[in-house]
Structure 1
Amino acid sequence: MFEEDIRIMKSREAIVQAMDQLLKQKPFRKITVNDICRTAVVGRTTFYAHFEDKYKLISYILQQEARKLEEILLSSSPEEVILEALLDIRDNKKLYVHLFVKEVPEELKQLLQHTFNIFFTNILQVCKEEGVKMASDNMPSLVAYYSSGVVGMLIWWFETNFEMPAEEVVSCLSNLLGFLWEVR
């Protein structure tokens, strides 16, 4: 059974790595399940045993990234986390441009928005528990506001070819969102 678990984990990781590799070559909408399977060297049955479709795969990848950011957030300042994420985006420009800028399908925009919604729900819940005064008691509206703003700013940054230095983007986001991590 343990060997089977390792095989399952290795095939899932191969599929994730294949998507990462393909996103560096072409836009998300042009990537097919066949492309992923060919690159991962797995059969379609194996792919579908792990993921319903390529949207579920990218959702899984985004959720993993969000978890990593939340873990880093516990050991680093929010500004350091944001800077690390932005530098990763800039350094992996092709991947992110193919994922979020080039002819972005509506489903992918919604998925990105959903990922940020979860992220901000968690952050705002902690703030609320720590007694941070919020602009509103309506959590869903605050989550929508912050996640839409961050997603919009990231897409703008991609579309302007990262003209604004990552440190300046961090400063801007910190000014806009800093109260979320300042204890009052």
Structure 2
Amino acid sequence: MNNNLINENLDLRIRRTHKLLFESLISLLTEKNFDDIRISDICDKAMVHRTTFYKHFEDKYQLLDFLLRQLIKDFEEKSLQYTPADNAKQYYTNLFRLLLEHMCENRKMYSVGLLNNGSAMKQLRKIVLECIKAKLEHDENNGIKFIVPISIIAEFYSPALVYSAGEWLEEGMPISIDQMVEYCDTIVAGLHITHDN
């Protein structure tokens, strides 16, 4: 048998096992608190043997961390759909809407893991930071002047957007995504100063 085919089959088995364990943990999180979930609960629901679990993960915390990294990667891939050429205000509101929608769709994972995981939140802020910096640099290259250096603007806005979205989720999403985006739009409105003539 071809070595590439063997590796491909192995990769498929690993991905299938990970998928089963992820789905099992997500399902269990709708029934009980993370602290109350045991490895045996995860394995039983996934129909995966405990020894198989331990071949892939040290414990449930490593499984959660791995799942959070996948969640952040998914957000990063979706964030790339907005190009720096987009209208400035529309770009920021689209990015914020995407973040809110992603948190809403994955609310259990965000509230259980991401909001209490410093390194995961840092990674999420970094993705938002890179998106904002790319947009600001594009705007500056097209004649828009800023009264504050781009790096400082990006460092200010990225944690603000992520923190605001996180608080909104933790408070039980008390207002609609549209209202949150409208607030963001109002704040961003004062960002641009002038165009070169």
Q: TM-score, normalised by structure 2?
A: 0.65
Q: Aligned residue pairs: how many? A: 173
Q: 1:158 aligns with which of 169, 187, 191?
A: 169
Q: 2:93–2:181: 8 Å Cα contact kept in structure 1? A: yes
> How big is the shift at 1:168?
0.8
1:53-68 mapped onto 2 (5 Å cutoff)? 53-68=59-74
> How big is the shift at 1:99?
1.4
Q: 1:99 aligns with which of 112, 119, 128?
A: 112
More displaced 10-residue stretch of structure 1: 6-15 or 18-27:
18-27
Q: 1:73–1:81: 8 Å Cα contact kept in structure 2? A: yes
Residue of structure 2 equivalent to 1:173: 184
> How big is the shift at 1:126?
2.2
Q: 2:111–2:170: 8 Å Cα contact kept in structure 1? A: no
Cα pair distance change 1:61/1:179, threshold 3 Å: farther
Specify every segment of 5 or more residues in structure 1 that has no aligned partner in the other structure, as ranges. none
Q: 2:136–2:150: 8 Å Cα contact kept in structure 1? A: no
Find the structure with the greater CA-based Rg. Answer: 2
Q: 1:112–1:151: 8 Å Cα contact kept in structure 2? A: no
More displaced 10-residue stretch of structure 1: 162-171 or 52-61:
52-61
Q: 2:57 aligns with which of 51, 59, 65?
A: 51
Q: 1:79–1:170: 8 Å Cα contact kept in structure 2? A: yes
Determine the C-alpha separation between the residues in 2 that align with 1:112 and 1:38.
28
> How big is the shift at 1:12?
0.8
Cα pair distance change 1:30/1:148, threshold 3 Å: farther
> How big is the shift at 1:98?
5.3
Determine the C-alpha separation between the residues in 2 that align with 1:134 and 1:50.
50
Residue of structure 2 equivalent to 1:71: 77
Q: TM-score, normalised by structure 1?
A: 0.69
1:8 equivalent in alignment to 2:14: yes
Cα pair distance change 1:177/1:67, threshold 3 Å: farther
Cα pair distance change 1:178/1:7, threshold 3 Å: farther
Q: 1:15–1:36: 8 Å Cα contact kept in structure 2? A: yes
1:80-119 mapped onto 2 (5 Å cutoff)? 80=94, 82-87=96-101, 89-90=103-104, 95-96=108-109, 99=112, 108-119=116-127
Cα pair distance change 1:153/1:119, threshold 3 Å: same
Cα pair distance change 1:12/1:100, threshold 3 Å: closer
> How big is the shift at 1:154?
2.9
> How big is the shift at 1:36?
1.8
Q: 1:113–1:147: 8 Å Cα contact kept in structure 2? A: no
> How big is the shift at 1:84?
4.8
Residue of structure 2 equivalent to 1:28: 34
